[in-house]
Amino acid sequence: MVKVSKKLNTKNNVQQKEVTKYLKLQLDVLRVLGLFKLSRSEISHPYRFQLQKIYITFTYTLSTIVLTLGYLCAFLKASKNFSELFKSLVEIVCVSTILIDIILLNMKNTELLKLLDLMNSFDVTSRRSVFNDARKYERVVFVSYCVLIGFASACSFLLPFLPLSNEKCEFFQQIYGFKYPQNRLPTCLWIPYIDTSEPRWFTLFYTIEIYTAILWIGLAITDALFYPFILLHLSGQYKVLSSKLKILGRSSMCAASKWTLLKTLREKRMKRTQEIFEVKKCILFHRRLLSFRTLFDSVMARNIQFRVIIILIITSLSAYPITLLSQFDSEKNVQFIAEFILILSYYYFNCSMSENLDRCNSLIGHSVYQSNWYAMCPEARRMMVMFMRQTQRPQHIRTLGGMVALGNVNFMNTLKFLYNFIRFVRIMK
């Protein structure tokens, strides 16, 4: 019996650790790339902690330098052409946003790791189908985003090797002043007294941009999927709670005839104790979810607030070149469309996970209504009434002091703002 119980406990621990599988994978990728720091307590040797600090300082310094040179090139060179300026700013602003978002996440790395530890205690055995569905959805989205981000990055890095027409060569020479316009970097860099199109400089800076692109791809995947995956599993826990609420009072009704015939105070007392115990279990389950949500809000509040503000700028910048596809060649058209779909789907995924969380929270009220609450003892019914009051609050992700609630309504408002912005820019032009 002891061996059997140990095997069952080991199996449950393995199942619970599966909850943070893709979240841990994303953090491990960032740690290997030098973009996420571990606390001193999690590193056994002190010299490894110092090496980690040096490595992280190097990666963030390199990314900052490349982005700064990219901004200088955009405003000093690409600003000669309005469409070229928009194209340059889309990628630079996107990467800058992601980099700042990950820096904010690193500032709360201790609370973040605590949040993941709490996720490992989620109930994945009561309704295994809920967890399996969440895992399948998580896997599909993870692979899709990796493919889409990889495709957009590959398009950017393959452009320098595609042939240019004479008109395009003159265009790049006029705007950027390249001596060899066919040698153009994926991200334009402005360096004083250096022409990056010269073969000796082009090879060096192209290699540097490949390395920074690997860093930025890891940042993009984590920034796009990390907190939506947390909300996905949190929504699953609300579904588990709703399934537990549905069965409240069922056992007491089935045994009602037996209790009526026996008429023993002991059995009535056992029935009352069992009902109160089951209701208390559901209440404690809900309180753990609320405490988890409180910790989630404290960790992700600044990230979400920053993300909502910047996403309006990024979507506007990425949508405007779509209206001018006739002015670009087919390779850039594919790149613009891929970037626009990636950015828009990124924001929609965040809004849909917030909407799903609120929808799963509303299932709790429906589950209580579908249960046999009227067959329970008066004490259990009073506890259910108090519990229902706590579940009436919306569970949308709110930011900017509660003015913005992520969801379908917010996403539609963003699309309306995007449409009005494009019309305004085209009129002013």
Q: Which two tokens stand for residue 325?
A: 């596809």
The Cα–Cα gap between 170 and 299 comes to 50
Give the C-alpha separation, 186 to 215, whole Å.
15
Task: State the pTM of this model.
Answer: 0.81
82 neighbors 57 (Cβ within 8 angstroms): no
Give the CA dihedral 35, 36, 38, 44, nearest 10 degrees.
-40
Give the separation between CA 115 and CA 353, rounded to whole angstroms: 18
Helix 21-32 with 109-119: angle, nearest 10 deg: 150
Give the model's pLDDT for residue 429: 61
The low-confidence residues of the chain, meaning pLDDT below 70, are: 1-17, 39-46, 251-265, 325-329, 331, 425, 428-429
CA 332 from centre of chain? 27
What tokens were used for 102?
Answer: 């990950």
**Cα 245 → chain centroid:** 30
Token readout for 386 is: 């108090």
Name residues whose C-beta falls within 8 Å of residue 41's C-beta, 6 or more positions apart in sequence: none
Q: What is the pLDDT of residue 65?
A: 92
Buried b (16+ CB within 10 A) or exposed e, 270-292: ebbebbeebbeebbebbebbeeb
pLDDT digit string, tens, across residues 252-297: 444 444 444 445 667 777 878 888 888 888 889 988 988 998 888 8
CA 248 to chain CA centroid, Å, is 35
| pLDDT tens digits for range 357-392 | 888 888 888 888 888 878 888 888 888 888 888 777
End-to-end Cα distance, the chain: 79
